[in-house]
Amino acid sequence: MTPTMTLEQIREAGLKALSRELGPVGLVRFIQQFEPGTGDYTRERHAWLEGVSLDELVRQAERSEGEDTRPQ
């Protein structure tokens, strides 16, 4: 790799490395993390949290603490 690589060459080399290390499915899953979302997160967050107190949020966090939430 040289500092004179074009952005296209860097992108291609990166995709090849990801595919080699993660496989095709892993490559797709990695790229999906960087897809732009839709909607207005700030507006939606205000709607989700409307009427929820800080104390309630703390209780919910304490209840879920220690739970294994990773996908099986």
Let me know if residue 70 belongs to a domain.
Answer: no
* DSSP string for residues in 20-36: HHHHHHHHHHHHHTTS-
pTM of the model: 0.45
Residue 27: give the domain boundaries: 7-64
> How far is residue 30 CA from its own chain's centroid?
9
Report yes or no on 29 lying in a domain. yes
pLDDT confidence tier of residue 70, bands split at 50, 70 and 90: low
Q: Does residue 72 register a pLDDT over 60?
A: no
Bigger pLDDT: 9 vs 38: 9
Q: How far apart are CA 19 and CA 29, in angstroms?
A: 11
Long-range contacts of 57-62 (CB under 8 A, 24+ apart): none
Distance CA 68, CA 58 (A): 18
- Number of folded domains in the chain? 1
